[in-house]
Amino acid sequence: MQLIEQLLIPALPWIVAIVPALILMFLGHCRWAWVLAGAIGCGFIWSDDPETVSMVGRIFTVIYLAALVFAFIGGLRRVILTFPVMRIVRNFLPTISETER
């Protein structure tokens, strides 16, 4: 019984984060699935004591918040990510007329 408690208690927050996300993915709401899983994960990371959060937890939170901003604000994503990336990628990809031949 004690072994189960030692394994289940640390995994419980991630189970709580992933199960609703899987249900949302099954229902076809993939965007909301990762938003919910990340929000619950960040909530569990920061819930105890914000001063004792590890560096991995802080990095996860920053990456999650950046992904959240870029996922939901299309104009910002186009200006900051899409145009610079497409300028780099177009040098490596063939033009459309070459792919149609």
Residue-wise pLDDT tens digits, 26-45: 999 888 888 888 888 888 88
Q: Which residues contact 40 (CB under 8 A, 6 or more apart)?
A: 13, 16, 17, 20
Could you tell me which residue, 8 or 45, shows the higher pLDDT?
45
Residue-wise pLDDT tens digits, 46-92: 887 878 888 888 898 899 998 888 888 878 888 888 888 888 888 88
The reported pTM is 0.62
CA angle 92, 94, 95 (to 5 degrees): 125
Query: What is the rounded CA–CA span in Å between residue 22 and residue 62?
Result: 23
Integer CA distances (angstroms), 20 to 34, 38, 63, 77, in order: 10, 11, 21, 27
Asked if the model's pLDDT at residue 99 lies above 70, the reply is: no
Q: What angle separates helix 30-47 from helix 55-72, to the nearest 10 degrees?
A: 150
Query: What is the rounded CA–CA span in Å between residue 79 and residue 83?
Result: 6
- 53 and 46 Cβ atoms separated by less than 8 Å: yes
